[in-house]
């Protein structure tokens, strides 16, 4: 794992002191709310419906056991004994007192954590593949590159006041688990014919009000030029991105308006200039220095085994939640934070401690947070899987639903969020309860259902195979359903089915869509495959005939 050097630690410690002073000045009246708001947002502190909310950065979703224990400790000491893992691989506390925030940040700093770059118009916390360093299909550990980008972008003077927030995601596997094509910049790391790393840079993807899929602007960028290319992209954006209209200020709008070819041309011009200056060239020794932090743990020499037992519940979990590891004898475990009828992404302090303990004992001290709001134990010996499952199950973390219809992404929605139009968690709970039957879920197969409480799309509804968007119609919550979105390497934006449904009708509507899928599917097809083959019409007809 990456460890802070003295500069990182100093910067974070200084920020704690600085923000503590700002909080004190706010509480004493030296700062007005108007003056304080941008300062608190720079430190991840929002004011939501019921209380302040503190968003803690978890760079590329990687945590040590010690860090996760600290997050649990903070939940216990300063909050209401739980926290919420977000689709940005971050963590949110929903009830901190303003006066306690300096102490929370000081506690976080002791484990090399902070809340910087989780808010405001800066380059946000870089996200990545939650199976990084473990999956058999990756060509390199994407966290090395995420960290290199983090170091370049953090406190970069030109990028602290961008036209809008800016999100970067990195993957190094052909299977895109980081949804890189719906980020402002998405990077796919490949190996070229000569087995050398090559970086494809996608620009202008995003969700929100105007969902767009990113375009490949930079192809096969060399490792040493990666930062120069990103800097060139940011310069073009900074120069032309609209600051006069927040709905048009994202880079996706710029790319959409001038076109991918023109964007490519402009970035190429800047790229030549940035490269000529030479300051951003990445020497191999620097790449190696960062890579050393992500060196593989000391895996034992083992052989793959068949971990199935006579326990059917364990075997089902094994099939659903355990993925192939790159090292024989090991496995990747997804810890579902989606208990049936539960709140997606919420974990109690006790549950966080259980996962931290398991990571320490059985996963080389590493935990991952996925953008799908689950946790991951990345390096578990296959022979330990049964014990791991037993302990997870005892803590309410053994739900065998990874990738299934009840593994729902849902943003906090109107239950917590100041910007929401409608609730989203309640809809997730109703659907999860309706489809609780394990056999039925498995019969449906992979289905990404994603729910947002407003058009900001924190719940990624645009890229759900089934997406649900909460809307407010004259004070009443309604839910608009989209079909056919996808956040993976075949990224697509979902299409709106038709008029929205009332809260109580949503589970029935989903049932109807599943019925159509069953009726139409060819052998081996997932919901998304069937949708892509037959189109929206059969779903639309049945749904609106039935309702």
Partner 1 sequence: MPQVLTANRLSDGEVVYLASDGAWVERIAAAKVFTSPAEGESGLHIGAAAERELKIVHAYLFDITPAGKPVKMREVIRAAGPTVRRDLGKQAAL
Q: Which residues bind partner 1 (CB under 8 A)?
A: 26-29, 33, 47-52, 80, 95, 97-99, 343, 414-416, 420, 422-423, 425-426, 429, 472, 475-477
- The upper half-sphere exposure of residue 408, i.e. CA atoms within 13 Å in the direction of its Cβ, equals 34
473 binds, among ligand SF4, partner 1, none (CB under 5 to 8 A by kind): none
Among positions 162, 318, 333, 458, the unique one binding ligand SF4 when judged by CB under 6 A: 458
Interaction of residue 459 with ligand SF4, rule CB under 6 A: yes
Q: How far is the CB of 322 from partner 1 (least distance, A)?
A: 29
Question: Interface with ligand SF4 by CB under 6 A: which range of 72-80, 372-380, 410-418, 506-514?
Answer: 410-418
Contact string 413-442 vs ligand SF4 (x = CB under 6 A):
x---x-xx----------------------
Q: How far is the CB of 369 from ligand SF4 (least distance, A)?
A: 17
Interaction of residue 452 with ligand SF4, rule CB under 6 A: yes
139 binds, among partner 1, ligand SF4, none (CB under 5 to 8 A by kind): none
CA distance linking residue 127 with residue 146, whole number of Å = 7
DSSP label at residue 468: E
Interaction of residue 47 with ligand SF4, rule CB under 6 A: no
Contact 502, 478 (CB under 8 A): yes
Cα dihedral 537, 540, 545, 546, rounded to 10, equals 130
- Tokens 């058009």 correspond to 455
CA distance linking residue 125 with residue 340, whole number of Å = 30
CA distance linking residue 250 with residue 162, whole number of Å = 9
Contact 501, 509 (CB under 8 A): yes
Among positions 342, 453, 464, 485, the unique one binding ligand SF4 when judged by CB under 6 A: 453
287 binds, among ligand SF4, partner 1, none (CB under 5 to 8 A by kind): none
Q: How far is the CB of 428 from partner 1 (least distance, A)?
A: 9
In 3-state terms the chain splits into helix, strand, coil percentages (rounded to 5) of: 45, 20, 40
Contact 460, 471 (CB under 8 A): no
454 binds, among partner 1, ligand SF4, none (CB under 5 to 8 A by kind): ligand SF4
426 binds, among partner 1, ligand SF4, none (CB under 5 to 8 A by kind): partner 1
Contact 509, 467 (CB under 8 A): no
Question: Interface with ligand SF4 by CB under 6 A: which range of 251-259, 357-365, 434-442, 450-458?
Answer: 450-458
- Tokens 């000569």 correspond to 194
User: How many residues bind ligand SF4, per CB under 6 A?
Assistant: 13
Question: Interface with ligand SF4 by CB under 6 A: which range of 165-173, 229-237, 456-464, 489-497?
Answer: 456-464
CA distance linking residue 387 with residue 10, whole number of Å = 40
365 binds, among partner 1, ligand SF4, none (CB under 5 to 8 A by kind): none
Q: How far is the CB of 351 from partner 1 (least distance, A)?
A: 15
Q: How far is the CB of 33 from partner 1 (least distance, A)?
A: 5
Question: β-pairing, 82-85 with 62-64?
Answer: unpaired
Query: Judged by CB, which is closer to partner 1: 344, or 467?
Result: 344
Q: How far is the CB of 371 from ligand SF4 (least distance, A)?
A: 14
Which residue intervals of 330-479 are DSSP H helices? 349-362, 385-394, 425-434, 438-444
Contact 327, 340 (CB under 8 A): no
Neighbours of 174 (CB within 10 A): 11
Query: Judged by CB, which is closer to ligand SF4: 212, or 358?
Result: 212
DSSP label at residue 503: G
* DSSP characters over 105-144: HHHHHTTT---TTSSSSSB---EE-TTTTTBTT-SS-HHH
Among positions 18, 238, 387, 456, the unique one binding ligand SF4 when judged by CB under 6 A: 456
The contact set with ligand SF4 (CB under 6 A) reads: 411-413, 417, 419-420, 452-454, 456-459
């Amino acid at each position: 794992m990456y460890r802070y050097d003295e500069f990182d630690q100093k910067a974070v410690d200084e920020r704690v002191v600085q923000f503590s002073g700002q909080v004190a000045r706010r509480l004493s009246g030296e700062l007005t709310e108007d003056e304080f708001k941008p300062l608190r947002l720079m430190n991840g502190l929002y004011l939501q419906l019921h209380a302040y909310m503190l968003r803690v950065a978890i760079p590329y979703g990687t945590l040590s056991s010690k860090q996760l224990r600290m997050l649990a400790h903070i939940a216990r000491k300063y909050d209401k004994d739980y926290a919420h893992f977000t689709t940005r691989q971050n963590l949110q506390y929903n009830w901190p007192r303003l006066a306690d925030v300096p102490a929370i940040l000081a506690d976080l700093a002791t484990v090399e954590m902070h809340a910087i770059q989780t808010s405001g118009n800066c380059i946000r916390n870089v996200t990545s593949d939650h199976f990084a360093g473990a999956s058999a299909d990756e060509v390199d550990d994407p966290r090395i590159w995420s960290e290199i980008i983090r170091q370049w972008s953090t406190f970069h003077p030109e990028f602290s006041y961008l036209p809008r927030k800016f999100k970067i995601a990195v993957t190094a596997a052909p299977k895109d688990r980081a949804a890189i094509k719906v980020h402002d910049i998405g990077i796919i790391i490949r190996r070229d014919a000569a087995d050398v790393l090559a970086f494809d840079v996608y620009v202008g993807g995003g969700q929100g009000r105007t969902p767009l899929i990113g375009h490949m602007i930079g192809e096969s960028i060399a490792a040493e030029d990666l930062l120069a290319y990103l800097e060139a992209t940011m310069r073009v954006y900074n120069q032309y991105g609209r600051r006069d209209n927040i709905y048009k200020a994202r880079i996706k709008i710029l790319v959409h308006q001038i076109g991918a070819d023109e964007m490519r041309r402009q970035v190429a011009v800047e790229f030549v200039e940035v490269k000529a200056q030479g300051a951003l060239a990445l020497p191999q020794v620097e790449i190696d220095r960062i890579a050393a932090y992500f060196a593989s743990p000391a895996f034992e020499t083992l052989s793959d085994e068949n971990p199935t037992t006579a326990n059917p519940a364990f075997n089902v979990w094994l099939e659903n939640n355990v993925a192939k590891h790159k090292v024989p004898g090991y496995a990747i475990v997804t810890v579902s934070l989606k208990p049936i009828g539960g709140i997606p992404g919420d974990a109690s302090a006790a549950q966080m401690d259980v996962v931290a303990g398991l990571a320490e004992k059985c996963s080389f001290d590493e935990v991952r947070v996925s953008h799908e709001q689950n946790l991951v134990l990345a390096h578990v010996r296959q022979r330990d899987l049964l014990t791991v499952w037993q302990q997870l199950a005892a803590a309410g973390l053994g739900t065998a639903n990874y990738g299934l219809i009840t593994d729902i992404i849902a943003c906090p929605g109107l239950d917590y969020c100041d910007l929401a139009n409608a609730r989203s968690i309640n809809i997730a709970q109703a659907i999860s309860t309706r489809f609780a039957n394990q056999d039925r879920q498995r019969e449906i197969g992979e289905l990404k259902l994603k729910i947002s409480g407003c058009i900001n799309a924190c719940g990624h509804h645009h890229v759900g195979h089934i997406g649900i968007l909460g809307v407010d119609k004259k004070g009443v919550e309604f839910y608009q359903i989209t079909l056919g979105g996808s956040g993976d390497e075949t990224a697509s934006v979902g299409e709106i089915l038709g008029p929205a449904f009332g809260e109580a009708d949503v589970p029935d509507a989903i049932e109807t869509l599943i019925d159509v899928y069953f009726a139409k599917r060819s052998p081996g097809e997932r919901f998304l495959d069937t949708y892509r083959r037959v189109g929206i019409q059969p779903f639309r007809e049945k749904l609106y005939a039935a309702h």
